[in-house]
Protein backbone atom coordinates (compact mmCIF):
# COMPACT_ATOMS: atom_id res chain seq x y z
CA UNK A 1 0.00 0.00 0.00
CA UNK A 2 1.43 3.38 -0.93
CA UNK A 3 1.80 6.00 1.83
CA UNK A 4 -1.02 8.53 2.19
CA UNK A 5 -0.58 11.85 0.47
CA UNK A 6 -0.55 15.05 2.54
CA UNK A 7 -3.75 17.04 2.32
CA UNK A 8 -3.75 20.84 2.13
CA UNK A 9 -6.38 21.79 4.70
CA UNK A 10 -6.20 25.41 5.74
CA UNK A 11 -4.34 28.65 5.56
CA UNK A 12 -2.44 30.16 8.51
CA UNK A 13 -0.65 33.51 8.32
CA UNK A 14 -0.93 33.54 4.53
CA UNK A 15 0.54 30.04 4.08
CA UNK A 16 -1.11 26.66 3.68
CA UNK A 17 -0.18 23.82 6.03
CA UNK A 18 -0.57 20.09 5.53
CA UNK A 19 -1.77 17.16 7.58
CA UNK A 20 -1.46 13.45 6.86
CA UNK A 21 -4.62 11.45 6.32
CA UNK A 22 -5.06 8.51 8.69
CA UNK A 23 -4.92 4.90 7.55
CA UNK A 24 -5.72 1.54 9.12
CA UNK A 25 -2.81 -0.28 10.81
CA UNK A 26 -2.15 -3.40 8.74
CA UNK A 27 1.39 -4.47 9.69
CA UNK A 28 1.46 -8.19 10.56
CA UNK A 29 2.73 -9.37 13.93
CA UNK A 30 6.13 -11.05 13.58
CA UNK A 31 7.35 -14.04 15.56
CA UNK A 32 10.81 -13.74 17.14
CA UNK A 33 12.71 -15.30 14.24
CA UNK A 34 10.93 -12.96 11.81
CA UNK A 35 11.80 -9.97 13.97
CA UNK A 36 15.46 -11.01 13.87
CA UNK A 37 15.37 -11.48 10.10
CA UNK A 38 13.71 -8.09 9.59
CA UNK A 39 16.42 -6.32 11.60
CA UNK A 40 19.15 -8.11 9.67
CA UNK A 41 17.45 -7.10 6.44
CA UNK A 42 17.63 -3.48 7.55
CA UNK A 43 21.38 -3.71 8.12
CA UNK A 44 21.63 -4.42 11.85
CA UNK A 45 24.52 -6.75 12.71
CA UNK A 46 24.33 -9.48 15.36
CA UNK A 47 27.15 -11.08 17.32
CA UNK A 48 24.97 -13.74 18.93
CA UNK A 49 21.59 -14.66 17.42
CA UNK A 50 20.60 -16.83 20.39
CA UNK A 51 21.16 -13.99 22.87
CA UNK A 52 19.35 -11.55 20.59
CA UNK A 53 16.30 -13.82 20.40
CA UNK A 54 16.32 -14.13 24.19
CA UNK A 55 16.36 -10.34 24.58
CA UNK A 56 13.64 -9.84 22.00
CA UNK A 57 11.53 -12.38 23.90
CA UNK A 58 11.93 -10.82 27.34
CA UNK A 59 12.38 -7.11 26.56
CA UNK A 60 10.37 -6.88 23.31
CA UNK A 61 11.06 -5.62 19.83
CA UNK A 62 8.97 -2.48 20.36
CA UNK A 63 10.71 -1.38 23.57
CA UNK A 64 14.14 -1.89 22.04
CA UNK A 65 13.10 0.02 18.91
CA UNK A 66 13.22 3.24 20.93
CA UNK A 67 16.95 2.68 21.36
CA UNK A 68 17.82 1.73 17.79
CA UNK A 69 15.74 4.50 16.21
CA UNK A 70 18.52 7.14 16.65
CA UNK A 71 20.92 4.70 14.99
CA UNK A 72 19.00 4.58 11.70
CA UNK A 73 20.51 6.11 8.57
CA UNK A 74 17.05 6.33 7.00
CA UNK A 75 13.81 6.44 8.95
CA UNK A 76 11.54 5.47 6.04
CA UNK A 77 12.30 2.87 4.88
CA UNK A 78 14.30 1.94 7.96
CA UNK A 79 17.98 1.31 7.26
CA UNK A 80 20.66 1.20 9.96
CA UNK A 81 23.85 3.21 9.84
CA UNK A 82 26.92 1.25 8.80
CA UNK A 83 28.51 -0.74 11.63
CA UNK A 84 25.58 -0.61 14.04
CA UNK A 85 25.20 -3.83 16.03
CA UNK A 86 22.46 -5.26 18.20
CA UNK A 87 24.95 -5.10 21.07
CA UNK A 88 25.17 -1.30 20.55
CA UNK A 89 21.40 -1.08 20.90
CA UNK A 90 21.37 -3.26 24.02
CA UNK A 91 24.12 -1.15 25.61
CA UNK A 92 21.98 1.95 25.10
CA UNK A 93 19.10 0.11 26.74
CA UNK A 94 21.28 -0.87 29.72
CA UNK A 95 22.66 2.67 30.04
CA UNK A 96 19.13 4.07 30.13
CA UNK A 97 18.01 1.51 32.70
CA UNK A 98 20.94 2.32 35.00
CA UNK A 99 20.43 6.05 34.50
CA UNK A 100 16.81 5.73 35.64
CA UNK A 101 17.87 3.79 38.73
CA UNK A 102 20.35 6.50 39.70
CA UNK A 103 17.85 9.31 39.14
CA UNK A 104 14.93 7.69 40.97
CA UNK A 105 17.10 7.21 44.06
CA UNK A 106 18.12 10.88 44.09
CA UNK A 107 14.60 12.14 43.41
CA UNK A 108 13.45 10.35 46.55
CA UNK A 109 15.79 12.56 48.62
CA UNK A 110 14.50 15.71 46.93
CA UNK A 111 10.85 14.72 47.37
CA UNK A 112 11.33 14.01 51.07
CA UNK A 113 13.15 17.33 51.57
CA UNK A 114 10.39 19.32 49.84
CA UNK A 115 7.70 17.49 51.80
CA UNK A 116 9.50 18.21 55.07
CA UNK A 117 9.95 21.92 54.36
CA UNK A 118 6.32 22.38 53.34
CA UNK A 119 4.96 20.62 56.42
CA UNK A 120 7.32 22.51 58.73
CA UNK A 121 6.99 26.05 57.38
CA UNK A 122 3.23 25.98 56.79
CA UNK A 123 2.50 24.33 60.14
CA UNK A 124 4.45 27.02 61.99
CA UNK A 125 2.59 29.76 60.12
CA UNK A 126 -0.92 28.28 59.95
CA UNK A 127 -1.09 25.33 62.34
CA UNK A 128 -0.78 21.60 61.78
CA UNK A 129 -4.09 21.39 59.90
CA UNK A 130 -3.34 24.02 57.25
CA UNK A 131 -4.31 21.51 54.56
CA UNK A 132 -7.94 22.05 55.56
CA UNK A 133 -7.69 25.85 55.18
CA UNK A 134 -8.96 26.64 51.68
CA UNK A 135 -8.24 30.36 52.14
CA UNK A 136 -4.50 29.63 51.83
CA UNK A 137 -4.91 28.59 48.20
CA UNK A 138 -5.41 30.59 45.01
CA UNK A 139 -7.78 28.37 43.04
CA UNK A 140 -10.66 26.80 44.96
CA UNK A 141 -11.49 24.25 42.26
CA UNK A 142 -7.87 23.06 42.12
CA UNK A 143 -7.76 22.99 45.92
CA UNK A 144 -10.85 20.78 46.13
CA UNK A 145 -9.52 18.46 43.41
CA UNK A 146 -6.24 18.13 45.32
CA UNK A 147 -8.14 17.61 48.58
CA UNK A 148 -10.10 14.76 46.97
CA UNK A 149 -6.85 13.30 45.64
CA UNK A 150 -5.27 13.40 49.11
CA UNK A 151 -8.33 11.78 50.66
CA UNK A 152 -8.19 9.05 48.01
CA UNK A 153 -4.48 8.47 48.62
CA UNK A 154 -5.09 8.28 52.35
CA UNK A 155 -7.91 5.75 51.95
CA UNK A 156 -5.73 3.55 49.75
CA UNK A 157 -2.77 3.77 52.10
CA UNK A 158 -1.94 0.70 54.18
CA UNK A 159 0.42 2.62 56.46
CA UNK A 160 -0.20 1.74 60.09
CA UNK A 161 0.14 5.37 61.25
CA UNK A 162 -2.75 6.37 58.94
CA UNK A 163 -5.13 3.66 60.19
CA UNK A 164 -4.11 4.34 63.81
CA UNK A 165 -4.98 8.03 63.45
CA UNK A 166 -8.33 7.25 61.78
CA UNK A 167 -9.20 4.85 64.59
CA UNK A 168 -8.47 7.35 67.36
CA UNK A 169 -9.41 10.78 65.95
CA UNK A 170 -12.39 12.33 64.16
CA UNK A 171 -10.42 14.75 61.95
CA UNK A 172 -10.95 14.49 58.19
CA UNK A 173 -7.18 14.37 57.73
CA UNK A 174 -4.25 13.85 60.10
CA UNK A 175 -1.93 16.83 60.75
CA UNK A 176 -0.01 17.87 57.63
CA UNK A 177 3.28 16.40 58.84
CA UNK A 178 1.53 13.00 58.85
CA UNK A 179 -0.68 13.44 55.77
CA UNK A 180 2.12 14.62 53.50
CA UNK A 181 4.00 11.39 54.17
CA UNK A 182 1.58 9.49 51.95
CA UNK A 183 0.85 11.99 49.16
CA UNK A 184 2.57 11.60 45.80
CA UNK A 185 5.29 13.91 44.52
CA UNK A 186 2.84 15.16 41.88
CA UNK A 187 0.20 16.04 44.47
CA UNK A 188 2.86 17.76 46.56
CA UNK A 189 3.93 19.96 43.64
CA UNK A 190 0.30 20.89 42.88
CA UNK A 191 -0.25 21.86 46.51
CA UNK A 192 2.74 24.17 46.47
CA UNK A 193 1.80 25.70 43.11
CA UNK A 194 -1.70 26.55 44.32
CA UNK A 195 -0.52 28.26 47.53
CA UNK A 196 -1.09 32.00 47.65
CA UNK A 197 2.16 33.87 47.15
CA UNK A 198 3.28 35.09 50.56
CA UNK A 199 6.24 35.03 52.94
CA UNK A 200 5.80 31.35 53.77
CA UNK A 201 5.66 30.23 50.15
CA UNK A 202 8.83 32.19 49.40
CA UNK A 203 10.45 30.83 52.56
CA UNK A 204 9.97 27.27 51.31
CA UNK A 205 11.49 27.96 47.88
CA UNK A 206 14.32 30.03 49.33
CA UNK A 207 15.29 27.08 51.52
CA UNK A 208 16.52 25.65 48.23
CA UNK A 209 17.93 28.97 47.00
CA UNK A 210 15.25 29.58 44.35
CA UNK A 211 12.46 32.05 43.54
CA UNK A 212 9.05 30.41 43.96
CA UNK A 213 8.17 30.48 40.22
CA UNK A 214 11.40 28.69 39.33
CA UNK A 215 11.00 26.30 42.26
CA UNK A 216 7.55 25.13 41.15
CA UNK A 217 8.57 24.74 37.50
CA UNK A 218 11.58 22.67 38.58
CA UNK A 219 9.35 20.52 40.78
CA UNK A 220 7.05 19.85 37.82
CA UNK A 221 10.08 18.86 35.75
CA UNK A 222 11.25 16.45 38.44
CA UNK A 223 7.75 14.96 38.82
CA UNK A 224 7.62 14.37 35.05
CA UNK A 225 11.05 12.71 35.15
CA UNK A 226 10.06 10.57 38.11
CA UNK A 227 6.95 9.37 36.27
CA UNK A 228 9.06 8.38 33.25
CA UNK A 229 11.39 6.43 35.54
CA UNK A 230 8.52 4.80 37.44
CA UNK A 231 7.03 3.51 34.17
CA UNK A 232 10.42 2.20 32.97
CA UNK A 233 10.15 4.36 29.86
CA UNK A 234 13.05 5.52 27.70
CA UNK A 235 14.67 8.54 29.32
CA UNK A 236 18.21 9.23 28.10
CA UNK A 237 17.42 11.16 24.88
CA UNK A 238 13.77 11.95 25.55
CA UNK A 239 12.62 15.54 24.98
CA UNK A 240 10.72 16.40 28.15
CA UNK A 241 7.02 17.15 27.98
CA UNK A 242 7.60 20.11 30.26
CA UNK A 243 10.08 22.98 30.18
CA UNK A 244 11.54 23.94 33.60
CA UNK A 245 12.23 27.67 33.77
CA UNK A 246 15.63 29.27 33.30
CA UNK A 247 16.35 31.15 36.56
CA UNK A 248 17.58 34.73 36.39
CA UNK A 249 19.58 34.09 39.51
CA UNK A 250 20.18 31.34 42.08
CA UNK A 251 21.71 31.50 45.53
CA UNK A 252 24.02 28.58 44.76
CA UNK A 253 26.21 27.56 41.81
CA UNK A 254 24.29 27.01 38.58
CA UNK A 255 25.04 26.48 34.90
CA UNK A 256 25.30 28.72 31.87
CA UNK A 257 21.98 28.53 30.02
CA UNK A 258 23.02 30.33 26.82
CA UNK A 259 21.69 28.30 23.91
CA UNK A 260 20.70 25.46 26.24
CA UNK A 261 17.69 23.22 25.58
CA UNK A 262 15.69 22.97 28.82
CA UNK A 263 13.72 20.00 27.48
CA UNK A 264 16.75 17.69 27.53
CA UNK A 265 18.16 15.47 30.26
CA UNK A 266 21.23 17.62 30.90
CA UNK A 267 19.00 20.38 32.23
CA UNK A 268 17.04 18.01 34.48
CA UNK A 269 20.22 16.35 35.76
CA UNK A 270 21.59 19.81 36.57
CA UNK A 271 18.40 20.55 38.53
CA UNK A 272 18.81 17.29 40.45
CA UNK A 273 22.43 18.17 41.24
CA UNK A 274 21.47 21.69 42.33
CA UNK A 275 18.92 20.36 44.85
CA UNK A 276 21.28 17.71 46.16
CA UNK A 277 24.03 20.27 46.77
CA UNK A 278 21.65 21.92 49.26
CA UNK A 279 20.06 18.81 50.76
CA UNK A 280 23.19 16.68 51.13
CA UNK A 281 26.48 18.34 50.10
CA UNK A 282 28.27 14.99 50.55
CA UNK A 283 26.13 13.24 47.95
CA UNK A 284 27.70 10.97 45.32
CA UNK A 285 25.31 11.72 42.45
CA UNK A 286 27.89 13.44 40.27
CA UNK A 287 30.35 10.56 40.72
CA UNK A 288 27.66 7.98 39.94
CA UNK A 289 26.82 9.80 36.72
CA UNK A 290 30.46 10.12 35.65
CA UNK A 291 31.01 6.42 36.40
CA UNK A 292 28.00 5.59 34.22
CA UNK A 293 29.40 7.60 31.32
CA UNK A 294 32.76 5.86 31.75
CA UNK A 295 31.01 2.47 31.69
CA UNK A 296 29.17 3.32 28.46
CA UNK A 297 31.61 5.57 26.54
CA UNK A 298 29.71 5.24 23.24
CA UNK A 299 26.58 6.97 24.56
CA UNK A 300 26.08 10.28 22.76
CA UNK A 301 25.93 12.85 25.56
CA UNK A 302 24.91 15.53 23.07
CA UNK A 303 21.66 13.64 22.48
CA UNK A 304 20.97 14.25 26.18
CA UNK A 305 21.61 17.99 25.77
CA UNK A 306 25.09 18.01 27.34
CA UNK A 307 27.29 20.82 25.99
CA UNK A 308 30.89 19.94 25.17
CA UNK A 309 32.24 21.95 28.12
CA UNK A 310 29.75 20.78 30.75
CA UNK A 311 32.46 19.53 33.12
CA UNK A 312 33.85 23.07 33.42
CA UNK A 313 30.55 24.48 34.72
CA UNK A 314 30.79 25.56 38.39
CA UNK A 315 27.86 23.29 39.26
CA UNK A 316 29.56 20.22 37.74
CA UNK A 317 33.18 20.85 38.76
Do both 100 and 159 map to the same domain?
Answer: yes
89 within a domain of the structure (yes/no):
no
Q: Where do the H-state alpha helices sit in 182-301? A: 185-194, 199-207, 212-230, 265-279, 285-295
* Residue at which a domain ends, from 84, 117, 152: 84
Do both 119 and 32 map to the same domain?
Answer: no
Do both 224 and 119 map to the same domain?
Answer: yes
Domain span at 67:
6-84
Structurally, the chain folds into a number of domains equal to 2
Determine what percent of the chain is predicted with pLDDT higher than 70. Answer: 94
* Residue at which a domain ends, from 26, 53, 84: 84
Residue 6, strand partner residues: 20
Do both 45 and 190 map to the same domain?
Answer: no
Q: What integer pLDDT is reported at residue 1 of this predicted model?
A: 45
317 within a domain of the structure (yes/no):
no
Q: What integer pLDDT is reported at residue 6 of this predicted model?
A: 54
Residue 7, strand partner residues: 19
pLDDT in tens, 78-131: 999 999 999 999 999 999 999 999 999 999 999 999 999 999 999 999 999 999
Task: Flag whether the pTM goes above 0.85.
Answer: yes
Q: What angle do CA 286, 315, 285 make, to 5 degrees?
A: 15
Do both 176 and 239 map to the same domain?
Answer: yes
Tell me what the pLDDT averaged over the chain comes to.
93
Residue 5 in this model has a pLDDT that exceeds 70: no
* Residue at which a domain ends, from 45, 60, 84: 84
Q: Report CA-CA distances (Å) from 39 to 44, 55, 78, 79, 101.
A: 6, 14, 9, 9, 29
pLDDT in tens, 185-222: 999 999 999 999 999 999 999 999 999 999 999 999 99
pLDDT in tens, 262-274: 999 999 999 999 9
Amino acid sequence: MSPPLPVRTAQSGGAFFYIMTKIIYTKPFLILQEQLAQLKGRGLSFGDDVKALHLLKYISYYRLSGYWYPLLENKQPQVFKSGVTFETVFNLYKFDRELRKIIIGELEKIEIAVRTQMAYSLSIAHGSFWLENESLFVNSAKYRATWDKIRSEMQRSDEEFISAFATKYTNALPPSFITLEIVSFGTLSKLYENLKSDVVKREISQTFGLPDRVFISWLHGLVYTRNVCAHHARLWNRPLGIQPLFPRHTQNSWISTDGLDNKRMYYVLSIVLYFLNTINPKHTFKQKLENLFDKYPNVDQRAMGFPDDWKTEPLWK
